[in-house]
Amino acid sequence: MIATVALLLAVAPDEPIAAPLPQAPDEVTAPAPAAEPPAVEPSPPTAAPVAPTATPPTAAAVTKPASPRRRPIASGPWVPNAWPTAPTCTLDPTDAPWCALVRADVFAGARAGTIGGAAQNEFRLDRAEAATGLLWKPATRFETGGVIALEAIRSAGPQSLTGIDGDSLVVRLLEAYGQAAAHFGPIDVGVRAGLVPERWIEQVEKGYDTRGFDALASDRVRMFDRADIGVAFTASAWDGRVDVDVEIVNGEGRAQRELNRGKNTTAIVTVRPLLREHPRGPLVLALHGAFRDGSLGIASIADRRGAAAVTFASPWVYAGVEFVHALGYAGRADLQASTLSSWVSGRILPRWLGAMAKYDHVRQDVAVAGSVIHVVGGAVFSDVFEHIDRNRRRVRVYAGYQFEGYGDAAAPLPGVVGALDAHRFLVQLELRGLARFGPKEIRP
């Protein structure tokens, strides 16, 4: 935890100061010659003229260039998941050809309330992640690199009673992939291969600022898994105003090896009609659409998705709506499910006070009216650092309330009304940090 807090408090060093180049000795301006004397009759020379001896320049006239020094490289405010248009580090093939990354996320807190009418309270560790990576830019229009991320999870599944040593937290791979990006005028093209992140969650979370309080609905109910093994292609145009993503992955997520010959293929289109820079952070209105053709398990059960979202991000207000429809869900090919989520968060007092609200409507079976789950939440929050650094360093505290209500046909206990209804009061701490290191020459 000490290392994480130290990482979050890392401040980018000052920008380099350009200094004038030293003046060469032969560029020193000679004094102006005296006025010409009146013309006189020349007399015959009596001896050969002697060439004047050049006076060597003084030490003050010659400036010796100072040796370059180095500092850790850093870029400006970092927009999450802006790859391949905007790399995480500002790289240059000559002065700064590589950059190392270190990232840590910790979401921890306390909850008190009731579940099914019974009082319950607990301390929770909702998210613990650590990642490192290396970026390399060998040419002006090309960069490559790799990322490895680890996460801590409960060793027992949601329907299990016993895991490793009871139900211990264990560490597993979250992401492990290589990537490369090339730039052709207004077009940026990238490819990732390995255990790659789910691009739908990456794109939509750009317009979602309260992940420390609750996950996106599509993430929380596993409409999309956060990572899977395969390959992902991205083409971005006009500084990210249009993104086209194509993923081809196993479809079993992080928890299972491939069990069938089919592959999950997802196509995502993102259009940003509003994309404007502001000194306090970017203003972005984004429209997202996606379709996934997939299968699950040994029997190749249908596991398809259609998704749409609208998100808005600014230094003052975040808002969005996400809808996902599943054709095949929870291991059943005949099951159609859907989730609709909306959120808004904003600043009341700059940096010190903000508020958020979120509502999720989950239909576990579209054909059954009582299979609905409602999740309503609201909170106030306070930040230590300014908004412009929200992804490079963040220390945020939430205090809020969440209600989770189940219909009488909602799994896993259909017919038992109110058995899983939950009222929660939460205090949540969100710690996020990103540090970037690399060689950068600064000439004094």
Q: Tell me, rounded to whole angstroms, the distance of Cα 265 from its chain centroid.
A: 23
Radius of gyration (C-alpha) of the chain in whole angstroms: 30
Label residues 210-226 b or e (16+ Cβ within 10 Å = b).
bbbbbbbbbbebebbbb
Q: Where are the domains of the chain?
A: 2-13+70-158+167-442
- In a 13 Å sphere around the CA of 410, the CA atoms on its Cβ side amount to 16
pLDDT tens by residue, the chain, 444 residues: 444 434 334 333 333 333 333 443 333 343 444 444 444 444 444 444 444 444 454 444 445 455 455 554 444 444 555 788 877 887 888 888 888 989 999 999 999 999 877 888 999 999 999 999 999 999 989 999 999 999 998 887 766 677 787 788 899 999 999 999 999 999 999 999 999 999 999 999 999 999 999 999 999 998 999 999 999 999 999 988 999 999 999 988 888 888 878 899 999 999 999 988 888 778 899 999 999 998 887 878 888 999 999 999 998 999 999 999 999 888 888 889 999 999 999 999 888 999 999 999 999 988 888 889 999 999 999 999 887 766 678 899 999 999 999 888 776 655 555 667 889 999 999 999 888 887 765 444
- The pTM of the full predicted model, rounded to 2 decimals, is 0.79
| CATH, range 2-13+70-158+167-442 | 2.40.160.10
Q: Are 222 and 251 in contact (CB under 8 A)?
A: no
> Please, what's the b/e burial string for 297-320 (b: 16 or more CB within 10 A of its CB; e: otherwise)?
eeeebbbbbebebbbbbbbeebbb
CB-based contact 101:90 (threshold 8 Å): no
